[in-house]
Structure 1
Amino acid sequence: MFWFRLRLLALVASRFLLAIDATSAANPNPVMQTTLSGLLRRGDLEHVVLADCTRSGKNYIQYSQLAYFAGPPTDTPDSITNATKDADKHLAWAGSGKITIVSSDGTPFSVTIPTVVAEGQFAGNGTNGYGDFSCYARFKKALYKTKDGAVCDGVYDCDHTTPPSTFSSTSPSPSTTPPPSETTAALSPTLTQTQTAPLASTTAIRNDRNDTETSSAQPTGSTATANDPPSTAPSPSSGMTLGEILGISISSGIAALAGIVAVLAWLFPKAPNASSPLTRTYRYSRPPPNQHIG
């Protein structure tokens, strides 16, 4: 009987411990959700560059890419995604309405460049659903080189700086397609990481000049206008507050302690006291022979 009660006590204790573990698993710390890859916001110093790439020589080809940098742009982007669906064509970044490019991990980046602006000027807004970007016309010739030998020029640089309230348009920026001789002379070191070849499996969505979609709908970020600063909506997060988690944990602990005390009281009942009324012995005398009861 004792061993049966002991096993029952162990079963009750394990049930309470499982309940506490389930509470912790259902409310993970939101900070742990910042380790995702791709275009998710990693820090205030990150940049997204809208680039035009050209491969010269016998296999001449043109295409556009979206390059992500964890810090200031260098000749080695952290990740790249093709932005054009058609071969031998640069994407018209300015004047095409909202353009959405889906990265390899499924994160959409939407950018709107209303018109061509002067070098260094604010050009438009971008967003990936996790943070807003301000895009500037910052032409960087031969910013990086792809694995297949194409040279990519940075056309627009998007970061987390606060944009001005207005901007003025001007003449087009320098051509993003250098002559073959200049392209050959400006080759940058080959990227060390594995990158997707041009025309690989990518998903790109863009609007025509009349702002009509040309492909199936994909998740996009908010649409920003040229004269309005981007919204400062906080990044989405989930999970309960620290106070709620602590309250649930304390309540579960108290309930578990109460259950264990109750089971212990049942396992080891208090020995009855000799002076208790339950242990008293009552003696009854037999009536005399001639006396009748009742």
Structure 2
Amino acid sequence: MLYKLHSSNGLFDKLSPVEFKDFSSFGKLEKDLEELIAKSILDILFEDYSLMPIFQERSYQAEADIYALNEKGELIIFELKRGNAGEDAVNQALRYAQNAGQWSYSKLKNKYKQYSESDIELTRAHRDAFDLEHALSPKDINNKQHLIIIGSAADDSLITAVDYWKRQGVSIEFLPYRIYEIGEEQYFEFFALPYDRHKNPGDIKGVIFDTNRSWDENSIWYMIENNRVAAFGEAKRFVEYLYPGDINRSESIGSLFLNLPKYTLYLTCGRNS
């Protein structure tokens, strides 16, 4: 929820909630919400849990709105509701999930080919999307399914229905969204799994990352050649202090200087710390 800060005598002393809206408030279609989510799930909305979209619904077909794969090859099924939808939307989504759980790798591969308009093999595209060292085996694709309902934060009946199925052991989540209109601009608020945690863009910091040179002179070349930041042995935990966007302007010989969007953070126990 967004709150406006009020102040008096130079001190913040009061909060008032800001009215929020949904896609239907602006006359937008559910398809508009679908396109927005599909274009943003790999890099923007799911910062700690990136997803690879592989298929979107077709007109007049009994399909969910978006199908995606996570890093493990598990199928994530999205059902989107622009405004209040109620519990029937969940029942519909459960039928889609049951159907998709029976899809073979060959069927998913054909759906991805149609969606991407590319001849790249699905397992290879998945490897590239998540920067994996090795591609998954086809048998590892779609061996588990998860259902995500995205809808208005004000849709209480939809939230209640999702909570019921969660208590029954179904892998289902409700992710609310809100739209705020401030001045003449609109802002989209989204609550990503595993919880609403987003790094503040204002918190970018400088980074000096030690190359482990005193222990292994070749470690710096391992990082540069593989386009990775690597921490070895007991020091591997230090990678968790780095975030995309962090920068460094130093020039010390013993350290690696990074503009992190070019690098993949990578942990290994293969060498001395």
| TM-score bucket (shorter structure) | under 0.3
User: Which one has more relative contact order, counting CA pairs under 8 Å at least 6 apart?
Assistant: 1
TM-score between the two structures when normalised by the length of structure 1? 0.22
Task: Look at both structures and tell me which one has the larger radius of gyration over its CA atoms.
Answer: 1
The TM-score with structure 2 as length reference comes to 0.23
Richer in helix (by share): 2
